[in-house]
Amino acid sequence: MTEDIRAQYKAKEILASIPSDRGELFIGYRPAAKPGKWREQFHQTLERQPGRRLSRSVFEIAGNTKGSVVVEVAECASARDAVEDLIETLAENQAAALGPGPESLQPAAFRHPEQAPAGLFFARANLRISIMSQSKASDDVDEWLGLIQHDLDLAPRDARDSLEIRSEDTQDNATRLHYKLPWKVGPEGWFKFVSKGAPIERGEKPGELFLGPSKAGVTVQGWVLERGRESYKGEFESTAGK
């Protein structure tokens, strides 16, 4: 990737916008269509590169094979990795130049120009997400953005306390966390973690998280989410700065 591409999409500014005292993390998220308008035509899971799981789905409008949307979700280990994946994706794009995406997603969001089929590319937390339509109208892309953002915003207060989150000290300036649910998560379920006081990253092993350095106490809230099913939650709190 050339420095010109990184400069064009302001990679340094996007990386600088990532908070150092809080974080958000998603593991296992895969978008799905609500019953009715859309149906999933195709899905595959790939390893885009080591540590970056890619979910790619094609959704078509029921009864209309001419209307389809491709949704990609690249799950990275950290927010910084997601930004790097976003810049790599933009560098591979065939459009001459992409414009800024919705203001609510800034600065890490870009749209196809009007003369090209509608497309939106953005990073949220450790996810790089692409939504691409056959049509030049952006309605389908905006609809899918709303569905995805609704999923990612979920944090139900009435979830059952069944998610265990515990810590294990490391020798460097970080904290390793382990999370565990007493039973297996369903195929469409995912984990969400929100940290306050330090950034959070996915570990290399299943059930492993890392918290970055902190100057004060750190709290982590976690949820297990699955559409149409009961949600579960857990919490970790550290009063010692690391």
CATH number at residue 197: 2.60.40.2410
Whether 103 and 44 map to the same domain: the answer is yes
Q: Which of 224, 236, 238, 73 is nearest to 155 (CA)?
A: 224
Q: What percent of the chain lies above the pLDDT cut of 90?
A: 75
CA-nearest of 222, 198, 225 to 210 is 198
| Predicted local distance difference test score (pLDDT) of residue 44 | 94
pLDDT tens track for 128-158: 999 999 888 899 999 999 999 999 999 999 9
State whether 66 and 136 are in the same domain. Answer: yes
Cβ–Cβ < 8 Å for 87, 5: yes
Pairing of strands 175-180, 208-211: antiparallel
**Domain final residue pick, 109, 136, 153:** 153
Backbone phi, psi, residue 177, to 5°: -115, 150
Shared-domain flag, residues 91 and 167? no
Highest mean pLDDT among 46-55, 93-102, 193-202 belongs to 193-202
71 and 185 inside one domain? no
Query: For the domain that residue 99 is a member of, what is the CATH number?
Result: 3.40.1000
Which of 97, 122, 153 corresponds to the end of one domain? 153
**One domain, residues 129 and 204:** no
Q: How many CB atoms within 10 Å of residue 102?
A: 14
Question: Model pTM?
Answer: 0.93
Range of the domain at 216: 160-238
